[in-house]
Amino acid sequence: MNRGKVLIEDYPIVARLSDFKAAAGGPEGFRRTSHFTVDLPDGRSVRVDLVDRSTNLGLKMRLLACPMCSTAVRNLRWAPIDSLPVETPGLVCGRCLRRLGGRYAAQDRRRRSRGMSPAIPLGESRDALPGIDAQLEKAIEDLAAALEEASASSS
């Protein structure tokens, strides 16, 4: 894998909060569970702890603790052992990837086209759609992180 440029899309989401809830047999079982073990495609097994967070609305939320940075997140991405500038536990969050220089492909495309042509060429318009998904996903992640920081500082 290319070490020079980290594209976040290259790191598939392999652990989702909803999958963990389903694996625990629903909300009741999920509340009683403290951690899960995720088997990765490369053969490694990674322990993912669950952490409780309260939102500004007073709601309690159980989220996944990133095995690398402990940030509470909804999704974790698979990072093969030699795919990043530093050794990873195998599962990382979007914040870890951004800290290691990760960018969404859509962000790169935007930067490249700045000052050249404001219009997306017809042939690229289909490619632009996944970029929009990535931007939405990033916005949701940023919002979740902001909520996280807000609730952490108020408690």
Q: Please report, as ranges, the residues that interact with Zn ion according to CB under 5 A.
A: 66, 68-69, 71, 93, 96
Amino acid residing at 150 = A
Taking the complex as a whole, how short is the minimal distance between the CB of residue 136 and Zn ion, in angstroms? 20
Task: Pick the closer one to Zn ion by CB: 103 or 109.
Answer: 103
Residue 56 in contact with residue 152, Cβ under 8 Å? Answer: no
Taking the complex as a whole, how short is the minimal distance between the CB of residue 71 and Zn ion, in angstroms? 5
Instruction: Output the CA–CA distances (angstroms, integers) from residue 113 to 102, 106, 109, in the order listed.
Output: 19, 11, 6
Taking the complex as a whole, how short is the minimal distance between the CB of residue 115 and Zn ion, in angstroms? 34
Residue 77 in contact with residue 11, Cβ under 8 Å? Answer: yes
DSSP 8-state assignment for residue 66: P
Task: Pick the closer one to Zn ion by CB: 94 or 131.
Answer: 94
Task: Pick the closer one to Zn ion by CB: 38 or 68.
Answer: 68
Task: Pick the closer one to Zn ion by CB: 69 or 128.
Answer: 69
Closest C-alpha to 2, from 113, 80, 64: 80
Taking the complex as a whole, how short is the minimal distance between the CB of residue 63 and Zn ion, in angstroms? 12
